[in-house]
Amino acid sequence: MSTTNNADRIFHAIADPTRRAILDRLRAGPVNAGTLADGFSQSRPAISKHVRVLRESQLVVETRIGRERFYEVNPIPLQTVAGWLEGYRAFWQVSLDRLKRNLEDK
């Protein structure tokens, strides 16, 4: 995924349920890699790889303290998603009306 733009990277990052779960866990506060992995049934390396994807999309920030690495959420990239959704919010009512009309026509 080398020629991938920012938005793609972000949407891809949050597409995986484990990665969303990691973000949700980190929302409670920063934890080190080991503690984070303990909360999941997958192997530590598997979680490590998910965290890497999250870091590459900037959704997670790493802080190294000694040999430990703490991870925390950076919500900024989620604004990209929020912005995309926004384009549908305006559409919301109008489209529901149309959908309803279409369904009534049957």
Partner DNA sequence: ATTTTATGTATCTAATTAGTTACATAATTG
Partner DNA sequence: CAATTATGTAACTAATTAGATACATAAAAT
Q: Which residues of this chain interact with DNA, rule CB under 7 A?
A: 1, 12, 15-16, 18, 32-35, 41-46, 48-53, 62, 65-70
Residue number, 66 or 92, with CB nearest to DNA: 66
Site for its own copies in 41-100 (CB under 8 A): 61, 63, 72-76, 78, 81-82, 84-85, 87-89, 91-92, 95-96, 98-99
Q: Residues for the chain: how many in total? A: 106
